[in-house]
Amino acid sequence: MPAAPTVRTLAAALGLSRTTVSEALRGSACVRPDTAARIRAAADAAGYRPNPLVGAVMSEVRRSRNQMFRGVIAAVDLDEAERPPAGARFHAALTEGAQKRAGELGFKLETFLVGRKGVTLPRLDTILQSRGIQGVLLLPSWAAPDFTKLDWSHYAGIYSDYVIDHPALHSVCSDHHRSLMSALGRLQALGYDRPGLVVQSQQDERLQHRWEGAFSAYQRNHPEIGTVPPLIVPEVNAANFSRWFRKYTPDVVLAHDPEVMTWMTAAGARVPRTHGYFCLNVTQTDRPCAGLDLHPHALGARGIELLIAQLQRNERGIPSPASTTMIPGHWVDGPTLATKVATKKK
């Protein structure tokens, strides 16, 4: 297999200096137009493909004297009024994991805020291009994200949540379906035979109904656990929760907000003596409880790895087809579950 053409081999073939060839391929006005056209034609004929990371990082390398430095990656977050405040903890952990892994691989991660208190997408596009930033990690958004105003021909992108359609990019996310199926199995093994799921409808919809789907599938395939219908409403509050809890009498509640335990107590439950509570995302809670760790640090790290791999392969633009990488959560023990419910019920 013949060696890939380089600036050095192009310069030798054309009888020009490497500096002239390099400047022409970068579009510099310092090279005469007819010479630049001849160089570009020769490069196209030879199948030359530039490494777009090199020009962007050389000035940084010289300035920092750090030979491990390979470039800057942008972490882009949306300023959304409707996002639940607890989501900030998950974002912070995900960003921390991404920043740590980026540093280990020789990259610097910088966060950009888009929206009311941040920049507009067209302005962000200008900033990224002017600074030569070509890797973009999109943080999870509460509503369906739309980043079509970025010129993706310049960037490789990863979305750190479920499917993104505008544009359709590769994504890395938690495997909510697998995680909940596994958790329900362990709850059943502990003796809980009437689990109840409580989820805000927007939280389930943005995950393409993974929570509801996994819960319904487990109920259907394990009829011995009862058929408590999930409480999925636009806003979970004390009133609709109490009605649901008293009517269907679940013995363990799976939810995001630990405030649910206060409502359980008001309805006569004693956690964990008479009822259990299981948190669907322990990163978002400020109380000790059993639940799922959805690994935000690992999600951030894996997103960076996938993004850097695209940069190294010189892949830019909207992929076809886009792929999804999932990381399952794991069970976290906590004081909100009894160690063995079966003995309690006798």
Q: What is the pLDDT of residue 51?
A: 63
Q: Cβ neighbours of residue 181 under 8 Å, at least 6 residues apart?
A: 214, 217, 218
The two tokens of residue 95 are 């960003």
Which CATH fold would you assign to the domain 176-294+332-345? Rossmann fold (3.40.50)
How far, in whole angstroms, is CA 346 from its chain's centroid? 45
Q: What is the pTM of this model?
A: 0.78
Would strands 170-175 and 324-328 be described as parallel, antiparallel, or unpaired? parallel
Q: Do the domains 176-294+332-345 and 1-45 match in fold?
A: no
Other C-beta atoms closer than 10 Å to the C-beta of 4 total 10
Decide if 96 contacts 62 (C-beta within 8 A). Answer: no
Assign residue 71 a region: left if phi > 0, alpha if psi is -120 to 50, beta otherwise? left
Q: Does domain 1-45 have CATH number 2.40.160?
A: no
Q: What is the pLDDT of residue 40?
A: 85
> What are the pLDDT tens digits along the chain (346 aa)?
567 788 888 888 888 888 888 878 876 667 788 888 888 888 888 888 766 555 555 545 444 554 566 789 999 999 887 787 778 899 999 999 999 999 999 999 999 999 888 899 999 999 999 999 999 999 999 888 999 999 999 999 999 999 899 999 999 999 999 999 999 999 999 999 999 999 999 999 999 999 999 999 999 999 999 999 999 999 999 999 999 999 999 999 999 999 999 999 999 999 999 999 999 999 988 889 999 999 999 999 999 999 999 999 999 999 999 999 999 999 999 999 998 665 445 4
Q: What is the pLDDT of residue 339?
A: 82
The C-alpha atoms of residue 82 and residue 2 are separated, in whole angstroms, by 56
Query: In degrees rounded to 5, what are phi and psi of residue 219?
Result: -60, -45
| Omega before 167 within 30 of 0, i.e. cis | yes
Q: What is the pLDDT of residue 56?
A: 52
The C-alpha atoms of residue 244 and residue 166 are separated, in whole angstroms, by 37
Q: What is the pLDDT of residue 2?
A: 62
Q: What is the pLDDT of residue 346?
A: 41
Q: What is the pLDDT of residue 39?
A: 86
Which CATH fold would you assign to the domain 71-175+296-328? Rossmann fold (3.40.50)
Q: What is the pLDDT of residue 343?
A: 45
The two tokens of residue 209 are 């109904």
Would strands 330-332 and 291-293 be described as parallel, antiparallel, or unpaired? antiparallel
72 has which bridge partners? 108
Q: Domain coordinates of the chain in residue numbers?
A: 1-45, 71-175+296-328, 176-294+332-345
